[in-house]
């Protein structure tokens, strides 16, 4: 290993392919490195086969389009939810091309949709290329791949215009989409979009859409993928599913996920107004949460007051703390509190753009309140899932905790730890999987986890190969479950990123990679990367070139959006100053090394610009 060019100088001149660090130490190809490369290639091939089977020449998904949140436009495009991330990690260019074709086709396909029972899609599901009106649980699901498109290709056609347009719809820059009240700092409804906020009660038809003739695999009410059910015969049950989903007016904690739009616009353009809006909106929600004593409230009225739509009862509202309903489809009481779905993306996005850990304090306090009510039942720890007036339970006239279960929110707790890196946050998190590996509990975890992903990918492809359904028997959600790409382990191991079941749509990572030779995002061919340790101001990363013939060059970035800073890197006992977000490394054939970084987290403004475009 030798220093070819002073790092502090390299990072202040025009970007060059000349490496700042030269690794020459021989290293036998580790199993994890070979598996990473094979899994990237296998994922890419699987996506290629999926696209050839389920996309037509126009990019239309081969299914029967319908409006609705049960099996509508958000599910159709969510089918490709991690394809842009896959490319950004090193997947093939074909994966990105297929997603772009699918996205453009999706906008046209659902632009042709017409509804009669709801006006939300009477002229198509999209207006100005954004959903007309929906809630942010479903808007966010449908936008997951788009949110990561900037990581893969920030110069993609239409991307810049769309990112700025979409963020503007929540910053009152579009007179047809005045979703935001800048005086009260609220988003005006749970239903928002390119046609503005819904300032009336929703209808079940808004949620479910029109029936279509035919029999389909109705996955939302059937456990069997192979069973065909007549949609018109089951339509009343689908409406009954949403009988109590009608409260719409006023801000809702789901809306905090809309900050993803401003994050992307800020990272793409560098314009301060997007960061300012996130700080303004999330600062208001931080204050509201403080006013409840630490609960993230479910609804804010159009007057800006807690519980304004429910006589001050901030725990009421669709998907809120007290959203215990009678599901007419299932014909039983259901408890659907989605308080984490928007708040975790929102507060973590505020941390991402500001570096202010007080936003994560809000999430921690919310978990403290839940854990203060814990019970042990038959030797099992239980937490309440709901709060308020417990329908179906004895009620004493004041809000109370209810519906205890063994859901301990461990994924949410793990996210809090990864954002704070406070060892006290680790005490409530099981040391298993990737987190256990980082804590030294399972040295073989990388290889075992990657092998498990190969098995999952094989099962996915077997299901696709066996699938004999046709477009006229498939709704949007059917193909969502058949997306073959598996990316979570790769994100964990290569970037130190953590994706939990909550579907947070921003990349929170310690590292990201670029190929300066091919000038694209992702690990170059033959390069393996393994995150071994993470600390509040440190990270250990092993890089290896498994190619025995040719050298490889990789640029390592501090953070998914360059938000962190490398202070120094120590390799083979030699400490080298970096003082920036980028480190370019040349790795000789069959060589590798462990890089120990001293770093400052949340130090830099976000950027989607690729290194050779930054004009150092």
Q: How many helices (H) and strands (E) does the chain have?
A: 19, 23
pLDDT reading at 370 higher than 90: yes
Question: What radius of gyration do the chain's Cα atoms show?
Answer: 24
pLDDT at 16 over 60: no
Angle at 98 between CA 92 and CA 102, to 5 degrees: 155
Contact 16, 24 (CB under 8 A): no
Token pair of 185 as six digits:
């700092």
Does the structure show a pLDDT above 60 at 395?
A: no
Q: At 437, which helix (H) or strand (E)?
A: helix 433-438
The reported pTM is 0.95
pLDDT of residue 221: 61
Model pLDDT for residues 407-424, shown as the tens digit of each residue: 999 999 999 999 999 999
In this predicted model, what pLDDT tens digit does every residue of 24-39 receive, in sequence order?
Answer: 999 999 999 999 999 9
Is-contact 565 581, C-beta < 8 A? yes
If you average pLDDT over residues 428-452, what whole number do you get?
A: 97
Q: Which of 258, 281, 146, 114 is nearest to 194 (CA)?
A: 258
- 138-159, pLDDT tens digit by residue? 999 999 999 999 999 999 999 9
pLDDT at 11 (0 to 100): 34
| 252: nearest Cα among 203, 214, 292, 285 | 285
Nearest Cα residue to 194 out of 144, 143, 270, 252: 143
Q: What is the pLDDT of residue 79?
A: 97
The three-class DSSP label of residue 586 is strand
Main-chain phi, psi angles of 325, to 5 degrees: -130, 170
CA atoms within 13 A on the CB side of 534: 28
Give residue 614's pLDDT band: very low, low, confident or very high (50, 70, 90).
confident
Q: What is the pLDDT of residue 382?
A: 98
Least confidently predicted of 138-147, 322-331, 464-473, 585-594: 322-331
Looking at residue 501, its pLDDT comes to 62
pLDDT surpassing 70 at residue 231: yes
Q: What is the pLDDT of residues 108-149, one digit of tens each?
A: 999 999 999 999 999 999 999 999 999 999 999 999 999 999
CATH superfamily placement of domain 7-29+510-613: Golgi alpha-mannosidase II (2.60.40.1180)
Q: What is the pLDDT of residues 373-390, one digit of tens each?
A: 999 999 999 999 999 987
Is 192 strand, coil or helix?
A: strand
Residue 523 has pLDDT above 70, yes or no: yes
pLDDT at 4: 34
Q: Write down the pLDDT at residue 377.
A: 93
Please give the average per-residue pLDDT across 449-476, as a whole number.
Answer: 97
Cα–Cα distance for residue pair 55/61, rounded to 1 Å: 5
Handedness of CA 132, 135, 141, 146 (dihedral sign): positive
Q: What does the pLDDT read at residue 504? A: 67
Dist. CA 463–CA 457, nearest whole Å: 10
CA distance 151 to 157: 14
**Band of the pLDDT at 502, cuts 50, 70, 90?**
low
Taking residues 291-319, what's their average pLDDT?
A: 95
Q: What is the DSSP secondary structure assignment for residue 141, as one 8-state letter?
A: H
| C-alpha span between 117 and 352 (Å, rounded) | 41
Task: State yes or no: pLDDT of 391 exceeds 90.
Answer: no
Q: Is 28 exposed, middle or buried (0-12, 13-18, 19+ CB in 10 A)?
A: exposed
Determine the pLDDT at residue 330.
82
Three-state secondary structure call for residue 126: strand
| Confidence (pLDDT) at 5 | 34
Distances (CA, A) of 134 to 114, 207, 209, 357: 16, 8, 12, 31
**What rounded mean pLDDT belongs to the chain?**
94
What are the φ and ψ backbone dihedral angles of 159, each rounded to 5 degrees?
Answer: -65, -50
Q: What is the pLDDT of residue 6?
A: 36
For the cut 60, the answer to whether the pLDDT of residue 612 exceeds it is yes
Residue boundaries of the structural domains of the chain: 7-29+510-613, 245-265+278-428
What pairing do the DSSP bridges indicate for beta strands 527-535 and 582-587?
unpaired
Tens-digit pLDDT profile for residues 260-281: 999 999 999 999 999 999 999 9
Q: 327 or 370: which carries more pLDDT confidence?
A: 370
The 10 Å CB-count burial string (b at 16+, else e) for 487-502 is bbbbbbbbbbbbbbeb
377 forms beta bridges with 380
Taking only the tens place, the pLDDT of each residue in 186-230 is 999 999 999 999 999 999 999 999 999 999 998 876 556 778 999
Kindly indicate the confidence band of residue 394, based on its pLDDT and cuts at 50, 70 and 90.
low
What's the pLDDT at 328? 84
């Amino acid at each position: 290993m030798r220093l070819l060019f002073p790092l502090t100088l390299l990072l202040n001149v025009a970007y060059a392919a000349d490496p700042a660090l030269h690794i020459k130490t021989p290293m036998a190809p580790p199993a994890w490195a070979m598996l990473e490369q094979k899994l990237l290639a296998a994922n890419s091939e699987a996506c290629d086969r999926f696209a050839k089977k389920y996309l037509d020449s126009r990019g239309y998904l081969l299914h029967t389009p319908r409006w609705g949140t049960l099996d509508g436009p958000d599910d159709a495009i969510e089918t490709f939810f991690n394809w842009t991330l896959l490319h950004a990690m090193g997947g093939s260019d074909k994966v990105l091309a297929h997603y772009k074709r699918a996205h453009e086709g999706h906008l046209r396909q659902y632009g042709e949709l017409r509804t009669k029972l709801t006006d939300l899609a009477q002229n198509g599901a999209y207006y100005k290329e954004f959903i007309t009106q929906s809630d942010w649980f479903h808007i966010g699901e449908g936008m997951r791949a788009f949110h990561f498109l900037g990581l893969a290709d920030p110069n993609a056609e239409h991307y810049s215009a769309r990112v700025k347009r979409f963020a503007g719809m929540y910053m009152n820059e579009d007179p047809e989409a005045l979703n935001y009240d800048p005086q009260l700092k609220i988003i005006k409804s749970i239903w928002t979009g390119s046609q503005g906020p819904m300032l009336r009660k929703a209808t079940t038809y808004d949620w479910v859409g029109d029936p279509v003739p035919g029999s389909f695999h109705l996955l939302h009410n059937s456990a069997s993928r192979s069973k065909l059910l007549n949609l018109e015969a089951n339509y009343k049950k689908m409406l009954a599913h949403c009988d109590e989903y009608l409260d719409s007016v006023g801000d809702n904690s789901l809306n905090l996920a809309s900050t993803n739009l401003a994050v992307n616009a800020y990272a793409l353009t560098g314009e301060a107004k997007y960061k300012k809006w996130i700080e303004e909106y999330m600062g208001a929600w931080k204050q509201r949460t403080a006013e409840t004593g630490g609960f993230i409230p479910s609804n804010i009225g159009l007057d800006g007051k807690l519980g304004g739509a429910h006589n001050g009862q901030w725990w009421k509202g669709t998907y809120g703390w007290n959203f215990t309903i009678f599901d007419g489809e299932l014909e039983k009481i259901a408890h659907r509190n989605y308080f984490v779905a928007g708040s975790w993306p929102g507060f973590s996005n505020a941390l991402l753009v500001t570096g202010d850990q007080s936003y994560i304090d809000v999430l921690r306090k919310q978990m403290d309140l839940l854990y203060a009510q814990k019970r042990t039942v038959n030797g099992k720890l239980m937490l309440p899932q709901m709060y308020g007036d417990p329908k179906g339970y004895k009620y004493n006239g004041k809000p109370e905790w209810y519906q205890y279960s063994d859901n301990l929110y461990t994924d949410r707790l793990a996210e809090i730890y990864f954002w704070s890196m406070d060892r006290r946050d680790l005490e409530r998190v099981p040391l298993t999987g990737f987190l256990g590996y980082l804590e030294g509990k399972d040295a073989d975890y990388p290889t075992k986890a990657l092998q498990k992903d190969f098995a999952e990918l094989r099962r996915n492809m077997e299901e696709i190969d066996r699938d004999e359904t046709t477009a006229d028997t498939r709704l949007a959600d059917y193909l969502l479950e058949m997306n073959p790409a598996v990316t979570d382990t790769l994100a964990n191991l290569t970037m130190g990123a953590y994706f939990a079941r909550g579907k947070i749509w921003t990349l929170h990572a310690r590292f990201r990679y670029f190929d300066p030779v091919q000038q694209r995002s992702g690990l170059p061919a033959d390069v393996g990367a393994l995150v071994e340790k993470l600390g509040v101001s440190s990270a250990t990363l092993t890089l290896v070139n498994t190619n025995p013939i040719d050298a490889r060059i990789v640029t390592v970035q501090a953070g998914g959006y360059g938000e962190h800073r490398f202070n120094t890197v120590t390799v083979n006992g030699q400490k080298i100053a970096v003082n920036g977000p980028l480190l370019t490394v040349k790795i000789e054939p069959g060589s590798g090394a462990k890089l120990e970084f001293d770093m400052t987290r949340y130090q830099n403004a976000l950027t989607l610009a690729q290194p050779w475009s930054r004009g150092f």
